[in-house]
Each structure stands twice: as C-alpha cells, then as structure tokens.
Structure 1
Amino acid sequence: MSKRILVIDDEYPLRRVIQLALKMTVGWEVLTAGSGEEAIQKAETERLDAIILDVTIPEMDGSATLAHLRANKFTQYIPIILLTAKVQVIEQKYFANLGVAAAIVKPFDPATLANQIAKALNWDISTTVDSKIED
C-alpha cells in the first residue's frame, strides 16, 4: 500500500527532490508545504502516514511547527522525521526528547531516502520496491 508523506521545507528545490525521489523509488505520494502554517493546515485535512519536517524553516520554525502538530488532536499521532544539518550528539538527544521518529541529516542521498524513512518508521518497503521494478 502506498504511503502519503508531507514534506515541510522552505526550499522548493529540496521539496521537489524529496517528492521525486520517494515517488520514483517506492511510489509514495508526497505532499509538500513551504511553511509551518501551511503544513499544519495540510496535516489537519489530509490523511498522512508521516511528516518530514525541516528544522530551520523561517517564521514558524521546525520546533514551533512540531509543537503545534503534537498539541493538535488531529495530528499528534502522525510520525515525524526531522530533516536537519545539525548532527551534534547533544542535538540528536534533543531531537529524541521531542518525540520524533528520527532525524535525517542534510545533505542526504535521494536514492536511499525511502530506505532511511522506512527504517525509522519500521515500514516494510520490500514489496513496494519489487512492484516498482515490475512497472
């Protein structure tokens, strides 16, 4: 079954790379948002399997967006993976304390992104990958 992912990042080219990588490698549907406000609105109205959230988006940053998503009864249980350039151990512990599933470090390899997401969320993508190869 195909997954629906919301990618929140203020950089359009990065959103597009993620969208294309996940669509082409495993066939997931990827919705995008360029701001925290737009993301919250989409997360409330769309059925989502996961959210990929950039930590450093302007205005409502990743931490504020995460807090809003966790406080909202419609979005509080959606697994969230942070997208960050910050890789220090103290920051990794901080992210873990936020209740996120994982943190993916930028820059990332688009070819392995679906595997990173699936591993973080305990999703089996082997059948998805097999069906994409047969297409």
Structure 2
Amino acid sequence: MNTELKKIMYVEDEPDIRDIAKLVLENVGGFNVCVVESGQQALDTIEEFAPDMILLDAMMPGMDGPATYGEIRKLSSFKNTPIAFLTAKLMESDIAAFLEMGAVGVIAKPFEPMKLSEQVIELWQKA
C-alpha cells in the first residue's frame, strides 16, 4: 500500500453529498477525488482511476455499499485497498457488520464537512 494517501474514490448516490465531499476532500484535504453515483459506476471506473482509498455510501439503490464492497474485493488490484463506509446507520450492530466485512472504519452521515478530510486521514493511518 502507498504510504501517502493521494487518490480517493467516493461512491455516493446523493448529488449534494457527492458535491460537498468532493469540494472539501479536494480543497481542504488536497486529495485527487473521483466521485461516482453507483456501485456499477465505481466498478466501471476503478481500474482507470486506481484509488488509494475508497469511501462507500452504505445505502444506495441497485448495488448497495456492502455489495459494491464485495465486488471491489474480487478485483485483484483492489483486494487490499482500504475501504470505509459513510452511513447514517449508526447502530452498533451495523458498524460491527461493516468492520467484520473488512472496512477500515465508518464515518457518520451527515458528516461535518470541515472535518471529513481529517476523518479520512485517521482511517487511512489505521489501515
């Protein structure tokens, strides 16, 4: 794994959340960010963008976050890429399920925009 986090893919179906996250991750965090609106779009784009870390919305229509996670893990180039979930589902059992799956962590939604980059860096350092 790279020692420095530079490229982040964020998979999120809500346009407003996508826009805010991209803005703060690029302008506050200094990251190169690729935002996509679905799990399928993530799979179609991931090889070309080659992210260092992936942020997944847990609840999306069609292929949800956990299903997208499973499909990404099948790709040999990304089976060890750190993946974190962003979700409003913050019951302990939900968080535990994401962590058992292999996620590096969970970020609560709605997130505090000015703290998002810091939260992502903390999860990257734990990975």
Please report the TM-score for the alignment, with normalisation by the length of structure 1: 0.86
Rounded Cα–Cα distance in structure 1 between residues aligned with 2:74 and 2:48: 16
Q: Which runs of 4+ in 1 moved over 2 A?
A: none
* Alignment counterpart, residue 4 of structure 1, candidates 7, 27, 45: 7
Structure 2 Cα separation of the partners of residues 47 and 60 of structure 1: 20
Equivalent residue number for residue 119 of structure 1: 122
Aligned length: 123
After TM superposition, give the deviation of residue 26 of structure 1 in Å.
2.0
Quote the Cα distance in structure 1 between the aligned partners of 2:5 and 2:106. 22
Q: CA RMSD in A?
A: 1.4
In structure 2, what is the equivalent of residue 57 of structure 1?
Answer: 60
Q: Letter of the aligned partner of 1:24 in structure 2? A: N
* Residues 50-129 of structure 1 aligned to structure 2 (within 5 Å): 50-122=53-125
Instruction: Work out whether residues 5 and 124 of structure 2, in 8 Å CA contact, stay in contact via their aligned partners in 1.
Output: no
CA distance in 2, matches of 1:5, 1:73: 18
Secondary structure in 2 aligned to 1:111? Answer: helix
Equivalent position of 1:133 in the other structure: none
TM-score (normalizing by structure 2): 0.91
Q: Tell me the SS of whatever aligns to 2:50.
A: coil
Distance in 2 of aligned mates of 1:37 and 1:2: 24
Does the Cα contact within 8 Å between 1:84 and 1:106 map onto a contact in 2? yes
Q: Are 1:29 and 2:32 an aligned pair?
A: yes
